[in-house]
Structure 1
Amino acid sequence: MFSRIAILLAMSLALGCEPEQQTTTELPKVFVSPAEQISYHPVVEFNARLESRDEVQISALVSGELVAIHFDEGQRVEAGTPLFDIDPKTFVAQVAAAEADVARAQTTLDNDRKTLERGQQLIGDGYISQSELDQFESNAAASEAQLRASEAALDQARINLDHSKITAVASGRMSRSNFNIGEVVGPESGPLATLVGGQVMDVIFQINESDFFKAVRQGIPEMPLQSVAELELAFSDGSVYSQKGYLDYIGNRVNEQTASVEVRGVVPNSSGMLVPGQYVIARLTILVPRTVTVIPQSAVQVDQRGTYALSVDDEGMVSRANLELGQRVGASVIVLSGVTAGDDVIISGVQRVRAGQQAQKQLVESETAIPNAQ
């Protein structure tokens, strides 16, 4: 019994001689970056269709046989370039006949005026009655009216002759001709061809109703539209059109079927690269800056509950912030809700902590400043 007590006493003395074990645990280290407020020019994209502002349907204004076509399909023409000839013989004859009618009416008027002058001299001497003088005046007036009618007919005949030669009303590119030489054309025939000016192209797209009224609340429709946004076009292959444009029209009503509002932009097309009917992406850079909150993209986490970030307060307490995100801005992302400017969000070490725990945070300005050994 004595020996057993001695052994226990010796063991207790030995344990008492060991150094006291450390009971505190070092807090996990995380690297944080503060949410920031920046001035941002939003970029939005829409599917759009191109239309030519200078598209002209070339039609015949007089009837007759088509005797000449002066262009090739797809050819670029300048304003005033001859396009079609309608047989002018009928119109030349009409001009000649109208000129003869004018000459005849002028002769009749001259004679009636001379008769009236003689009558005015004779009535004073009592050689003619007042009724006879009245008749002379009536004849002269009728002759003058006939001359005016003949001159108007001559003007119309000359216009018809001019219309037998159809020229380009603007510079642009021609379609193919819808008629062949020898066919009879006229005002009821429909377009002979189409001329597309193409120096300026309209960019037509739709914005949804909610975005439209958001723009209304911001006063955008009341601003000069050219100062609202810069317009850039992108093609289906990812390439970008070199010339930029601007907005020039926002519709004033919502389409009931699509719940959208039509918007039109304008881009120059001096190169002729753009064609009507082409589909493009309209990329708008809003020139009116907005103040937004951003966090590094690396701070954004996703789980079954949604998108979130972990933030660390001044006491080192970790909390979860559920995020509503906007567009990416470089290596950052816009936060619509969830964090405010100045909140420290974890960009590295998030796997070491959970919401409700404490952590040792180290502030870094960028991910490149995070040490390799974490």
Structure 2
Amino acid sequence: MSMKVSPKVMLGLIVLFLLGAWAFMRFGVGKTPVGPGSGMGVEVKVMQVVQRDTPLLYEFTGKVTSKNEVKIMSKVAGNIVAKMVNGGDAVSKGQPLFRIDNKQYLSSINAARSTLVKSQATLRNTERDVERYRALAAVDGVARQTLDSYVAQAEEQAATVEENRASLQRAIEDEQDTLIVSPVDGRIDIKDLGVGQFVTAGSTTLATVSALDPIWVQFSISENEYIKLARLGQGTLSGYFSDGVKLMLSDGSQYPVPGKIEQIDNGIGDATGTMTVKASFDNPQRFLVPGMFAKITAQGGIRSGAILIPQRAVKELLDETFVMVVTSEGKAESRKVKMGDRVGNLWIVESGLTPNESVVVEGIDKVKQGTPLKITLMALEDLMK
């Protein structure tokens, strides 16, 4: 049995449907209002701008180098017959490293000693003749010229004795030099020579020993950095660095011993446009080794009431910097800002933000001007996780 719907009822239903649709579109009936923390916007993480007194830190990338790198060379020639260390070993000053074959030098000592003894005997005999002729000359028993000849002969033989004594000393020193010792405390490299290899006096490098305590960290600063730091140091770079520097290792940890600037280049390099600086660090445990990369961190005063935001909240475009600020309606607003110095993973804002505002830290690439946001608040401590 079919029911008939009157035209009036049908018209009323259509009117009610249209009114409902208009109300839904006009007033958002059934919608959840969009605002901070609402579920209808783009999910982002937001942090309120930080304002606090901030130490200004300057970082420079450096490289650990040996303060004293010594090439070990032999003063005598010969084959290596003994090796007391291995490449990479830590060595101390005076520690034996190599032994050169000393047989020929022992023979030279014996020969030099024999020559010296013979010359000494000859001198003693001549000196006795001088005494006899001097006694005869006193009673006119011999010509004065004969005495003078023997005196001159004795003086010449005395000089020969001294020359032979020096030759013996040289032979002894040459034999002593067949034992090669380390001139400094440090670590020997792995390019050292082995037993059986021939060494030429004064030219063959047996090994290189790098002094490790103290040790240098070498880094470069640009001309603009030099100008800024020299001003902070009242006109000199050494004045700025006088309070010491810190060393950050490549894994992010801080070396426990502060360092000091020991050498500053006398000018800006023409090719690099930078100035080379060397900082010295005590290294009693030999933890720092040449070739390690590290960061030198130095403090340059306190910035009172600095406004800080995370570096990852900043977008750079054509030499300009922007952030996404959260409006009171919970929407994204692109804001041009001027940035100052970096402080760790934060960035000082020179202008464009106030302490009461919040910026998008994560999800910045997903939003644009006017995008509704679903906000998750972050604390400063969350950046360290």
Q: Same fold (TM over 0.5)?
A: yes
1:202 aligned to 2:216?
Answer: yes
1:128 offset after TM fit, Å?
A: 2.5
- Residue 289 of structure 1 is matched in structure 2 by 301
Structure 2 residue identity aligned to 1:347? N
1:180 offset after TM fit, Å?
A: 3.1
- Residue 30 of structure 1 is matched in structure 2 by none
* Distance (Å, rounded) in 1 between the aligned partners of 2:152 and 2:119: 15
After superposition, what is the alpha-carbon deviation per residue over 1:128-184, rounded to whole angstroms, capped at 9, x for unaligned? 333222212211211111111111111110111011111222333222354332222
- Residue 244 of structure 2 is matched in structure 1 by 229
* Distance (Å, rounded) in 2 between the aligned partners of 1:254 and 1:324: 27
Structure 2 residue identity aligned to 1:294? A
Q: Which residues of structure 2 form unaligned runs of 5+?
A: 1-48, 326-334, 360-378, 380-385
1:325 aligned to 2:340?
Answer: yes
TM-score normalised by length of structure 1 = 0.68
* Distance (Å, rounded) in 2 between the aligned partners of 1:205 and 1:67: 42
Q: Which residues of structure 1 form unaligned runs of 5+?
A: 1-32, 311-319, 351-367, 369-374
Structure 2 residue identity aligned to 1:233? M
**One of 150, 171, 174 as aligned partner of 1:160:** 174
**One of 112, 121, 131 as aligned partner of 2:135:** 121
* Distance (Å, rounded) in 1 between the aligned partners of 2:357 and 2:173: 82
Stretch moving more, 215-224 or 195-204: 215-224
* Distance (Å, rounded) in 1 between the aligned partners of 2:239 and 2:316: 43
- Residue 220 of structure 1 is matched in structure 2 by 236
1:185 aligned to 2:185?
Answer: no
After superposition, what is the alpha-carbon deviation per residue over 1:239-291, rounded to whole angstroms, capped at 9, x for unaligned? 333333221111112110011111000122222222212222x23223x6356
Q: Is this contact kept in 1: 2:309–2:349, CA < 8 A?
A: no
* Distance (Å, rounded) in 2 between the aligned partners of 1:294 and 1:279: 31
- In structure 2, the CA distance between the partners of 1:247 and 1:128, relative to structure 1 (3 Å rule), is same
**One of 258, 271, 275 as aligned partner of 1:244:** 258
Stretch moving more, 138-147 or 289-298: 289-298
Structure 2 residue identity aligned to 1:98? A
Structure 2 residue identity aligned to 1:234? L
After superposition, what is the alpha-carbon deviation per residue over 1:217-255, rounded to whole angstroms, capped at 9, x for unaligned? 423345495x343222321x3233333322111111211
**One of 109, 112, 129 as aligned partner of 2:123:** 109
Q: Is this contact kept in 1: 2:50–2:309, CA < 8 A?
A: no
Percent identical pairs in the alignment equals: 24
Q: Is this contact kept in 1: 2:321–2:336, CA < 8 A?
A: no
Stretch moving more, 203-212 or 122-131: 122-131
Q: Is this contact kept in 1: 2:186–2:211, CA < 8 A?
A: yes
Structure 2 residue identity aligned to 1:199? D
* Distance (Å, rounded) in 1 between the aligned partners of 2:285 and 2:122: 61
Q: Is this contact kept in 2: 1:74–1:176, CA < 8 A?
A: yes
1:67 offset after TM fit, Å?
A: 1.1
Structure 2 residue identity aligned to 1:138? A
TM-score normalised by length of structure 2 = 0.66
* Distance (Å, rounded) in 1 between the aligned partners of 2:106 and 2:344: 71
Cα RMSD over matched residues? 3.7
* Distance (Å, rounded) in 1 between the aligned partners of 2:152 and 2:181: 45
Structure 2 residue identity aligned to 1:50? V
Give runs of aligned pairs for residues 1-374 of structure 1, distance below 5 A: 41-176=55-190, 178-187=192-201, 190-217=204-231, 218-221=234-237, 223=239, 227-235=242-250, 237-280=251-294, 282-286=295-299, 289=301, 294-295=306-307, 297=309, 323=338, 325-328=340-343, 333=348, 335=350, 345=354, 347-348=356-357
Structure 1 residue identity aligned to 2:130? L
Q: Is this contact kept in 2: 1:53–1:198, CA < 8 A?
A: yes
SS class of match (2:201) = coil
- In structure 2, the CA distance between the partners of 1:349 and 1:276, relative to structure 1 (3 Å rule), is closer
After superposition, what is the alpha-carbon deviation per residue over 1:198-229, rounded to whole angstroms, capped at 9, x for unaligned? 1222101111112223444423345495x343
Q: Is this contact kept in 2: 1:66–1:87, CA < 8 A?
A: yes
Q: Is this contact kept in 2: 1:296–1:347, CA < 8 A?
A: no
* Distance (Å, rounded) in 1 between the aligned partners of 2:131 and 2:169: 30
